[in-house]
Amino acid sequence: MASVTEDIVIVGAGECGARAAMALREQGARGTITLVGDESLEPYERPPLSKAALTDDREPSPVTVCDRARFAHLDIAFERGVAATMLDRTAHDLVLADGRRLHYDKALIATGARARVLPVAGGHSILTLRTFTESVALRSRMTPGARVGVIGAGFIGLELAASAVTRGCQVTVVEIAASVMARVVPAEIAAIVEARHRDAGVDLRLGTGVEHVEHVDRPRPAQRLVLDDGTTVDCDVIVAGVGAVADSAVAAASGLTIDNGVRVDRYLRTDDPDIHAAGDCCSFPHPLYDDRRIRLEAWRNALDQAAVVARNLLGADEAFAAVPWFWTDQYELGLHIAGLPDAAVTNVVRVRADGATLLFGLGADGRLVAASGVAQGTAIAKDIRIAEMLIAQRTLPDPSALTNPAVTLKSLLV
Amino acid sequence: MATWIEACGADDVDAEDVIPFEHDGHPYAIYRSPADDYHATDGWCTHEQTLLKDGLVMGHIIECPKHNGRFDYRTGEGKGAPICVNLRTYPVKLEGGTLYIDVD
Ligand SMILES: Cc1cc2nc3c(=O)[nH]c(=O)nc-3n(C[C@H](O)[C@H](O)[C@H](O)COP(=O)(O)OP(=O)(O)OC[C@H]3O[C@@H](n4cnc5c(N)ncnc54)[C@H](O)[C@@H]3O)c2cc1C
Ligand code: FES
């Protein structure tokens, strides 16, 4: 039986691990809390790395989730710059790469995800973006006039493209799918974002992959992207945004089940009752989607799971059921998504008086399962937030009410 | 010394909603509660640089449109992650259908 006096270790000091450590104390944990992170910085926010950290005029500094003073105040031990190797489940020890062992009663794995590396010949010079250091390196290469090649037109790739344009770079985006953000965003919304990029002068090469990368000296020294369709793009810097893979190395070394990341149940527990996992690294069954197993790479999910897993580590049995929610900023546009668009069988569109477009996804039973929209800044946020509540309430809205902008979404809440 | 500034008409803001107001280059947010009382806070969220005007009002809570940080707009009290700093509030008064805020 869990109790508030147990000793807890957290592996991974990112968004989720750091938030969980703070939440544990706020929930009354009285045992030791040790947060182990392999990065040398205090836990920081990743979303700005592809946005403000690249575009701001002043040199970026990390936006911290929790600083040293707060850790001290909350009596959280922070072991930074050291990797954990495995959880010795028999001894109940966390083994660190420097040989130390930390005893635990309960452990949380929050090791996040790593940027996928593109397996192409000559690709060793391709940059990726997951850490603050990588963002700083990229920024120094995004000088005005620089030829920037972005591989992948997912969220990160497109945010990078928008940031590079803002910095005065000449940007080409190469994407193997036929449209941008094809995996997760409904076509109507993707088309708006795609048009904005073309407007900004981005050279979008859709439906073609990268064959290989070579160094050329003529006409100017460049990293040349040779594409599947035979065309080439000469670049000063190439960055890939081709997705991320769950970091499940510690879980795997500890003998836990891996299934698109660390496999957890609805309480965010692994198959060892003393070990939980949360954030980008775990896959979990979602009760709003027939317990379909999903893994999210989303900021709010890391926060929401941190709060629930903290309570469960202290003995609660709270099923995680938050509606998935994601946002991305590109240029002046803010795109927000609630729910799982791919769970929809039909979509209905609402065009607001201000021209903003919202798309509602309905499941086979007519239930609202997703909503997405794009508008200037945060103008779409409120509607998506209300849609999120409608999704959580499992509402069966009248499609004509959804399409009619005269009907306020708030009035559909039960 | 109070500095009362005319902000808006009482009907310019719907019940359980928020509107923006700017004075001297400083943004404010003006709220009308479900019970029709009025409140005012700073316009910026305390987490990052986001204006609260596009946020959702539910009861006495304003939720930031960026990362859903929440505040009680009557007291400015932050309601958990990612908010660590409370929101500044300002006195308001209603006179003859016009709302004034004390920006001091
Ligand atoms: C550039 C970028 C932009 C983003 N923009 C958005 C956005 O606009 N909207 C949105 O919703 N989400 C966005 N995200 C996603 C969001 O940042 C993540 O969902 C969130 O960071 C996940 O938190 P996490 O703690 O699970 O993982 P992470 O933040 O990745 O933290 C995991 C930590 O664990 C460490 N670690 C791993 N293995 C070990 C080990 N063996 N020992 C010790 N430490 C270890 C890692 O180094 C890392 O520090 C963005 C991500 C990136 C990279
Ligand atoms: S900017 Fe308001 S919650 Fe982040």
Output the pTM of the full model: 0.95
Side-chain half-sphere exposure of A92, counting CA atoms within 13 A? 10
Ligand nearest to the CA of A302: 1
Kindly report the length of chain A: 414
Nearest to A210 by CA among A125, A150, A134, A129: A150
Q: Is B12 helix (H, G, I), strand (E, B) or coil?
A: helix
Which of B54, B81, B82 lies nearest to residue A378, judging by beta carbons?
B54
Which residue is associated with the tokens 């940031």? A163
- Measure in Å the smallest separation between the Cα of B54 and chain A Cα atoms: 6
Restricting to B residues 3-62, those with a Cβ less than 8 Å away from any Cβ of A are: 16, 48, 50-51, 54-56
CB A149 within 8 A of CB A233: yes
Q: Whose CA is nearest to atom 20 of ligand 1?
A: A299
CB A234 within 8 A of CB A220: yes
* Cβ pair B68:A379 closer than 8 A: no
Q: Give the strand pairing for A292-294 and A275-277.
A: unpaired
Rounded CA-CA distance A94/A224 in Å is: 45
Rounded CA-CA distance B73/A205 in Å is: 47
Using the atom order of ligand 2, give the atom closest to the CA of residue B46: 2
Which of A19, A299, A385 lies nearest to residue B63, judging by beta carbons?
A385
Share of chain A above pLDDT 90, in %: 95
Ligand 1 geometric centre to CA of A17 (Å): 10
Mean pLDDT for chain A overall: 96
Using the atom order of ligand 2, give the atom closest to the CA of residue B67: 3
- In chain B, the residue whose alpha carbon lies closest to the alpha carbon of A307 is B81
Tally: H helices and E strands in chain B: 0, 10
Nearest-10 Cα torsion for A32, A35, A40, A46: -140
Ligand nearest to the CA of B42: 2
Q: What is the pLDDT of residue A349?
A: 96
Ligand 1 geometric centre to CA of A279 (Å): 8
pLDDT grade for B2, boundaries at 50, 70 and 90:
confident
Side-chain half-sphere exposure of A37, counting CA atoms within 13 A? 22
Segments in chain A below pLDDT 50: 1
Q: What is the pLDDT of residue A2?
A: 62
Which of A22, A327, A381 lies nearest to residue B54, judging by beta carbons?
A381
Listed in sequence order, the residues at least 6 apart from A299 whose beta carbon sits closer than 8 Å to its beta carbon are A15, A45, A46, A47, A326, B67
Residue ranges and CATH numbers for the domains of chain B are: 4-102 (2.102.10.10)
| A354 and chain B in contact, CB less than 8 A | no
Listed in sequence order, the residues at least 6 apart from B48 whose beta carbon sits closer than 8 Å to its beta carbon are A63, B66, B67
Beta-ladder partners of A93: A88, A103
Nearest to A51 by CA among A125, A139, A145: A139
Structure tokens at A116: 């996928």
Rounded CA-CA distance A202/A170 in Å is: 7
Q: What is the pLDDT of residue B104?
A: 83
